[in-house]
Amino acid sequence: MKTDILEELNIKGFVDEAIDPTLDLFEEIEKLKKEKNAIVLAHYYQEADIQDVADYIGDSLGLSQEAAKTEADVIVFAGVHFMAETAKILSPEKKVLLPDLKAGCSLADSCPPHLFKKFKEKYPDHLVITYVNCTAELKALSDIVCTSTNAVQIVESLPKDQKIIFGPDKNLGAWVAKKTGRDLVLWNGACMVHEIFSREKITKLKERHPNAKFIAHPECEEAVLQMADYIGSTTGLLKYSINSDAQEFIVATESGIIHQMEKASPGKTFIPAPPTNSCACNDCAYMKRNTLEKLYLCMKNGLPEVTVPANIIVEARKPIERMLEISASLGL
């Protein structure tokens, strides 16, 4: 049985087992949490059912902070692979489960560590800041990790004459460079979900909804960010939608965040920003590989587990801890 499951994981990335259709998966997951002393951490881009069963829902920074402090024995990470890796790096003694091992990330894929190493060698006097959306191996090559919540503050915490390489997201990097007035050396990476928004279609949508606020994640291209009333991380966007007096919002990020926006502000309307014709929706295909069924099966079987080599844990932990320290000192 065990061998079959391991074989399945290699091929499919998840445990593919028939589930008794009479089971209430919400109840079963609650039972498994108690039985295994497990905590379910979910990113805002997860499907609504997963968000509803999670113990903590948050952005990349909040999820890392939660993974670092949890007392659970098992962290069930409902997010993508680099997030589960970060949790493992911060809590190496814990078992970290990911419902589907193939929940990757196009942005992390856009920066292969062996090429980044060569890139870094071209700028020996530069400090390396990497966005958390990258592999553990890449973090191990970095000086400080950041998320979209703290990227600006982390750059600003460094002396003005400090030369900096920023990777892997060129859009976030360009936005941070603009906000801080710093000249950052950027790696040419991007997220396929945040690059699909159409400036032309957003312009038309804004004409039809003149009172709507247009809010965007900094992973979007500059041409789209230029139109935004507010730019921020997923938590930033959620807070803005709660605190704003506006009743309508056009949201340029992965559509999963809208579930929490609607829950927090039931009377307000949230419209996903329109993508170009090359794509039909704003879903991250990687985030959406996780389902409630896969979450249940991974908790039941204790598989798939995310592991990180011990030497990478040692090296990758330093820049993540630096980020957490700077964030804590700034009250983020």
Asked if 70 interacts with ligand 13P (CB under 6 A), we say no
Start-end of H helices in the chain: 2-11, 25-36, 48-53, 60-69, 81-90, 106-109, 113-121, 136-139, 151-156, 170-180, 199-208, 222-225, 234-243, 257-264, 292-301, 310-329
Smallest gap from Cβ 307 to ligand SF4, in A, equals: 20
> Which H or E run includes 214?
strand 213-216
Asked if 233 interacts with ligand 13P (CB under 6 A), we say yes
Q: According to CB under 6 A, which one of 70, 86, 130, 148 is a site residue for ligand 13P?
A: 148
- Our CB check for ligand 13P shows the closer of 133 and 180 to be 133
Asked if 59 interacts with ligand 13P (CB under 6 A), we say yes
Asked if 133 interacts with ligand 13P (CB under 6 A), we say yes
d(CA 138, CA 240): 32
Smallest gap from Cβ 57 to ligand 13P, in A, equals: 10
Residue 204, C-beta contacts closer than 8 angstroms, at least 6 positions apart: none
- Our CB check for ligand 13P shows the closer of 146 and 298 to be 146
Asked if 130 interacts with ligand 13P (CB under 6 A), we say no
Smallest gap from Cβ 1 to ligand 13P, in A, equals: 34
Asked if 147 interacts with ligand 13P (CB under 6 A), we say yes
Q: Which does 286 bind (CB under 5 to 8 A by kind): ligand 13P, ligand SF4, none?
A: ligand SF4
Chain-centroid distance of CA 33 in Å reads 23
Asked if 60 interacts with ligand 13P (CB under 6 A), we say yes
Residue 251 CA neighbour count, 13 Å, CB half: 31
Q: How many CB atoms lie within 10 A of CB 154?
A: 24
Contact residues: ligand SF4, CB under 6 A: 80, 105-107, 133, 191-193, 254, 284, 286-287
